[in-house]
Amino acid sequence: MTDPITEKLVDNIGRARGTDYFLMKEQLKPEEAEILRQVREFGEAEVLPIVNSYWERGEFPFELVPKIAALNLVGDHNMRDYGCRPMSAVGAGLVMMELSRIDSSIATFFAVHLGLAMQSINLLGSEEQKRRYLPAMARFEKVGAFALTEPDHGSDSVALEATARREGNEWVINGRKRWPGNAVWCDYIVVYARDVVDKQVKAFVVEKDNPGYKATKIQGKISLRMVQNADITLTDCRVSEDARLQKCNSFKDCAKVLMGTRNTVAWASLGNAVAAYEISLTYAQRRTQFGRPIAKSQMIQSMLVNMLGDVTAMQLYCIRLGRLIDDGKLEETMAALAKYYCSVKAREVCRMARDVLGGNGITLDFHVIRHMCDMESLVTYEGTAEIQSLIVGRDITGHSAFV
């Protein structure tokens, strides 16, 4: 049973004073503000009441999928012709921010489906392939996943070892993949493999009932526990030529997809940080120690201001990043810097929030520990913080630290 402070936090999450300190909402267009409102109301009404239970058990709340589908949130700035909701890059970022403010597992499920699987097809598929796959995925009638990372290749995924060999009008894929979210139960998974003839990376849409595809849930995670990550084995997995994404002919093509997802991780990190700050502020105002609220402590006020400064900087990063995408000006290094900064700072905010809550900070009732654990994944996936720093470092110095 939760105490009154916890109940008040659950009731008031998202309403603590001062979160939007630099009036970020004034930078939003009306349709973007409506997306923010819609996702916030859904998250607080449908996701927050059940999320801790599922997170603790490491299970996915499948009952939320049709509810998410009904919101018509699958939209992006470059997929409007394929059944997706028209929205700006900022609007799409707000969806990710608000889902992450409630829970990063739900946000990651959504991001893998939209930002990795659908965008792989959108950016690398033919017009016929886009019209074949994307409309059903936009309606969540089909759920997607994305398989690039391998057991021995994470940050150096360019060296992937999964192979694809053409035999007539079919391709035969062999190899292993690790970590794809949604992969245990998805309908489509985009698999990246190296062509044995030209040694270039190709992408293939593999369907879940393919006899050469086997996915086993990764157990024992203490981060993003609801996400069904998988170890995948591809054994003479046969797909037709028309399942090969026609515009993927090298790893550089795959990198186009990853550039977009780094923008997504920046927004998701912001969502986690906002939640941690809001909870900390509300808690500090209500938690009494030594006869007064801990919010009167100089130390607590200093911590809260530190957190607010980071949250505000992340907000400005993300808004500007979205506008750069909408204006067609985003560069790889910009996305890398945003992913690096926001994920690292959000992890620091979550850790500081855990300190503000003291012993209560480690219980799921207060949510902060869930955000803190989940941020460990966000700092790592879609390119670790260290790799992002090297990408930016290469750009500003003219020297590559990569082998």
Choose one of 138, 160, 192: the last residue of a domain. 138
- Tally Cβ neighbours within 10 Å of residue 324: 17
Give strand ranges (E) for 241-356: 288-289, 292-293
**What six digits make up the tokens of 312?**
């505000």
Considering the domain boundaries, does residue 35 fall inside one? yes
Query: Residue 133: which pLDDT band, with cuts at 50, 70 and 90?
Result: very high
Same domain, 117 and 30: yes
**Per-residue model confidence as pLDDT tens digits over 175-220:** 999 999 999 999 999 999 999 999 999 999 999 999 999 999 999 9
Which of the residue ranges 77-81, 164-168, 357-361 would you say has the lowest mean pLDDT?
Answer: 77-81
User: From CA 311, how far away is CA 380, in angstroms rounded?
Assistant: 20
Domain count, the chain: 3
State how far the Cα of 192 lies from the Cα of 159, in Å rounded to an integer. Answer: 11
Which residues is 153 bridged to in the sheet?
A: 150
Q: What are the backbone dihedrals phi and psi of residue 145, each rounded to the nearest 5 degrees, phi first?
A: -145, 175
Q: Is 330's pLDDT higher than 80?
A: yes
CB atoms < 10 A from the CB of 56, how many?
12
Q: Are 158 and 189 in contact (CB under 8 A)?
A: no
Per-residue pLDDT for 299 more than 90? Answer: yes
Decide if pLDDT at 403 tops 80. no
170: in domain: yes
Tell me whether residue 264 is in a domain.
Answer: yes
Stretch 261-282: mean pLDDT: 95
Where do runs of H (alpha helix) occur along 19-63? 30-42, 48-57
pTM of the model: 0.93
CA atoms of 142 and 161, how far apart (whole Å): 28
Tokens 């006869």 locate to 291
Chosen domain end from 98, 117, 138? 138
- Tell me the pairing of strands 292-293 and 288-289: antiparallel
pLDDT band at 259 (very low <50, low <70, confident <90, very high): confident
Is the pLDDT confidence value at 11 over 70? no
For the chain, the C-alpha Rg in angstroms (whole number) is 21
**Share above pLDDT 70 across residues of the chain, in percent, rounded to a whole number:** 95
- What's the CATH number where 82 sits? 1.10.540.10
111 is in which domain, residue-wise? 18-138
**Tens digit of pLDDT for each residue in 90-113?**
999 999 999 999 999 999 999 999
User: 35 and 128: one domain?
Assistant: yes
| C-alpha atoms less than 13 angstroms from C-alpha of 355 in its C-beta half-sphere | 14
Q: What pLDDT sits at residue 399?
A: 96
